[in-house]
């Protein structure tokens, strides 16, 4: 029988943690992060090492807040935006915990939660993580910061942040109950400064597959949060959904718009990067589910699967969106 929706019977979210940079600290969710770094360097002399240090601090915060010790963790699964995901692999180097490296661009947080849930369901204690850093990502995907290049209004601002999640069969107030793995697709966009547009249709495709196969409708959820379309992609997603007959209301939000104040912060269309939805869910949305403010929440993690080389070669941007369903117990 075809599996459209993956069900998890017994997977609980035991803890979350998020560490961010200065711009994220200044945003609307600033008080909710576990820690931040004033100059985004995290005490390091390259931006790649800075990102690695941020990931380490996030894992330390996760374990400090939880009832677990490093030796209790059976698996870490995660990744970042850097070539060959080196920020994360250096962060977990020699920490003694088995590790699976993932690449899903900005959808990595959702991908980690889905894969992590599959192993948690087998009785393992699993940490998932996703990170991005504005300065390492700008250097890699666009220009070194020193160039001072201007950005287009549709561009998204890579979040400096790492979010982490601890999953197991040990009961808690928040369950992960269902997931939909996204199908890679493109809609003709090849502009790396308009990734929101490239991902918008993938987000709606995955949401529609979920609604059709679950029999649920958008009003069954307190929050449906994409991560991360930014303002441009978010508006396009709503328009595209409407053209298919799906009306998205006030419970439809985007993590890339939640993490910054788009009116006062210089972030163009909003946040993006693996660390955006990861840190917004870890610091804000998951705690609100645990508090009972939100009871049914969907994360739709969206990823634009481009590389610096694919952009130079003028290739189209394949996109993906993975869905994760959170429920208050």
The CB-of-217 to its own copies minimum distance in angstroms stands at 22
Distance between CA 311 and CA 306 in Å, rounded?
7
Interface pattern 156-185 for its own copies (x via CB under 8 A): ------------------------xxxxxx
Q: Which residues pair with 303 in a beta bridge?
A: 320
The CB-of-295 to its own copies minimum distance in angstroms stands at 26
How many residues of this chain interact with its own copies, rule: CB under 8 A? 63
Among 119, 210, 234, 260, binds its own copies (CB under 8 A): 119
Q: How far is CA 67 from CA 60, 71, 98, 218, 283, in A?
A: 12, 12, 19, 35, 18
Do residues 12 and 177 lie in contact, with contact meaning Cβ atoms separated by under 8 Å?
Answer: no
> Which residue's CB is nearer to its own copies, number 81 or number 267?
81
- H/E stretch holding 252 reads strand 252-254
Distance between CA 321 and CA 105 in Å, rounded?
10
Place of tokens 């017994």: 10
> Which residue's CB is nearer to its own copies, number 76 or number 290?
76
Do residues 18 and 162 lie in contact, with contact meaning Cβ atoms separated by under 8 Å?
Answer: yes
The CB-of-173 to its own copies minimum distance in angstroms stands at 24
The CB-of-29 to its own copies minimum distance in angstroms stands at 27
Q: Which residues pair with 144 in a beta bridge?
A: none
What letter does residue 268 receive in the DSSP assignment? B
- Structure-token pair, residue 300: 């739709």
The CB-of-277 to its own copies minimum distance in angstroms stands at 16
Q: Choose one: 56-64, 112-120, 152-160, 245-253; the region binding its own copies (CB under 8 A).
A: 112-120
Interface pattern 61-100 for its own copies (x via CB under 8 A): ----------xx-xx---x-xxxxxx--xx-xxxxxxxxx
Among 18, 20, 262, 305, binds its own copies (CB under 8 A): 305
Place of tokens 């645990």: 290
The CB-of-117 to its own copies minimum distance in angstroms stands at 10
Among 10, 22, 60, 103, binds its own copies (CB under 8 A): 103
Does 5 sit near its own copies (CB under 8 A)? no
- Structure-token pair, residue 164: 């982490």
- Structure-token pair, residue 276: 């955006």
The CB-of-33 to its own copies minimum distance in angstroms stands at 26
Q: How many Cβ atoms are within 10 Å of 24's Cβ, its own excluded?
A: 30
Q: What angle do CA 39, 145, 260 make, to 5 degrees?
A: 60
Does 307 sit near its own copies (CB under 8 A)? yes
Q: Is the dihedral of CA 227, 101, 87, 97 positive or negative?
A: positive
Does 314 sit near its own copies (CB under 8 A)? no
The CB-of-83 to its own copies minimum distance in angstroms stands at 4
Shortest CA distance to 59 belongs to which of 49, 69, 48? 69
Interacting residues with its own copies (CB under 8 A): 1-3, 6, 46, 48, 71-72, 74-75, 79, 81-86, 89-90, 92-105, 111, 114-115, 118-119, 121-124, 140, 180-186, 303, 305-310, 313, 315-316, 318, 320, 322
């Amino acid at each position: 029988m075809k599996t459209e929706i993956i069900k998890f019977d017994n997977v609980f979210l035991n803890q979350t943690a998020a560490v961010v940079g200065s711009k994220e600290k200044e945003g609307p969710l600033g008080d909710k992060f576990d820690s931040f770094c004033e100059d985004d360097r995290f005490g390091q002399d390259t931006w790649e090492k800075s990102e690695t240090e941020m990931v380490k601090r996030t894992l330390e915060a996760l374990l400090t807040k939880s009832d677990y010790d490093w030796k209790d963790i059976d698996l870490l699964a995660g990744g970042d935006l850097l070539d060959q995901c080196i920020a994360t692999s250096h962060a977990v180097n020699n920490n003694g915990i088995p590790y699976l490296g993932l690449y899903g661009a900005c959808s990595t947080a959702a991908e980690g939660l889905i894969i992590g849930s599959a192993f948690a369901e087998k009785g393992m204690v699993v940490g998932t993580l996703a990170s991005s850093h504005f300065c390492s990502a700008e250097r890699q995907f666009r220009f070194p910061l020193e160039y001072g290049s201007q950005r287009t209004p549709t561009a998204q601002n890579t979040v400096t942040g790492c979010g982490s999640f601890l999953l197991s069969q040990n009961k808690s107030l928040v369950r992960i109950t269902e997931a939909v793995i996204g199908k890679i697709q493109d809609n003709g966009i090849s502009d790396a400064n308009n990734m929101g547009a490239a991902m918008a249709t993938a987000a709606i495709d995955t949401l529609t597959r979920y609604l059709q196969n679950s029999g649920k409708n958008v009003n069954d959820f307190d929050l449906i949060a994409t991560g991360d379309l930014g303002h441009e992609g978010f508006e396009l997603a709503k328009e595209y959904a409407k053209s298919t007959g799906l009306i998205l209301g006030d419970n439809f939000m985007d993590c890339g718009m939640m993490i910054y104040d788009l009116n006062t912060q210089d972030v163009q269309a909003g946040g993006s990067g693996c660390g955006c939805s990861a840190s917004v869910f870890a610091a804000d949305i998951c705690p609100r589910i645990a508090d009972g403010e939100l009871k049914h929440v969907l994360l739709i993690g969206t990823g634009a699967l481009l590389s610096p080389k694919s952009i130079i070669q003028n290739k189209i941007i394949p996109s993906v969106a993975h869905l994760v369903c959170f429920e208050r117990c």
